Amino acid sequence: GAVVSQHPSWVICKSGTSVKIECRSLDFQATTMFWYRQFPKQSLMLMATSNEGSKATYEQGVEKDKFLINHASLTLSTLTVTSAHPEDSSFYICSAHNRNTGELFFGEGSRLTVL
Amino acid sequence: GQNIDQPTEMTATEGAIVQINCTYQTSGFNGLFWYQQHAGEAPTFLSYNVLDGLEEKGRFSSFLSRSKGYSYLLLKELQMKDSASYLCAVRDRVDYKLSFGAGTTVTVRA
């Protein structure tokens, strides 16, 4: 079964609204989680690194005020897309790092469509 | 940072073997990952190599040579369901970030 759970799987929203996506590690504590975005037929693009108990680290070109990340516990990170616009429509995927084994697992992904 | 190269596409016949090569250049290596991704779905973890050598998991095996900056994923006894994109990713030693190659699309034909 999945070791990283992400939801919602699908979300459709109106332009200007905010959407929250949750990422949970199910079998292990994840001090670090990562958020990616993937456009059709392209590879994953890292958006930010989510650190438990501290501020997220954003990649160059990613607006931290638009993509709010909160990592309040060792098993949960959230990504909030604020004031969403159609160009934010994409496949958002989280991943969680198991420090005990070194493995890194992905959530199931969340497909966001902004109308 | 990392510079990761893998072939764009490969085609093989059902039951055959395919090897996907991945070369990388990195400033700080902390493991190499292979993922399988079907269209419209999130990547699925296949393997993780941090030491040199071969890791075998059923029909899939992954090899790593750190001195050569080289890895391969070996898919044996190909099945139609193996048609997917295969992503090679290298993790940075300092910040644990994963950098991905562009992916290799494998098409399995009957």
Contact between residue A111 and residue B42 where contact means Cβ atoms under 8 Å apart: no
B108 — pLDDT class (breaks 50, 70, 90): very high
Q: Minimal Cα–Cα distance from B77 to chain A, Å? A: 24
Instruction: Tell me the HSE value of A76 on the side-chain side, using a 13 A CA sphere.
Output: 8
Quick one: CA dihedral B62, B63, B69, B70, positive or negative?
negative
The CA distance from B33 to B100, in Å, is 9
Residue of A nearest to B4 (CA): A43
Instruction: Tell me the HSE value of B83 on the side-chain side, using a 13 A CA sphere.
Output: 11
Inter-chain CB proximity B42 and A106 less than 8 Å = yes
Q: In this predicted model, what pLDDT tens digit does every residue of A25-64 receive, in sequence order?
A: 998 888 889 999 998 888 889 999 998 888 899 999 999 9
- Residue A43: which of B40, B96, B103 has the nearest Cβ? B103
- pLDDT for B1 beyond 60: no
Q: In this predicted model, what pLDDT tens digit does every residue of B54-93 receive, in sequence order?
A: 999 999 999 999 999 999 999 999 999 999 999 999 998 8
- pLDDT for B2 beyond 70: no
Inter-chain CB proximity A49 and B48 less than 8 Å = no
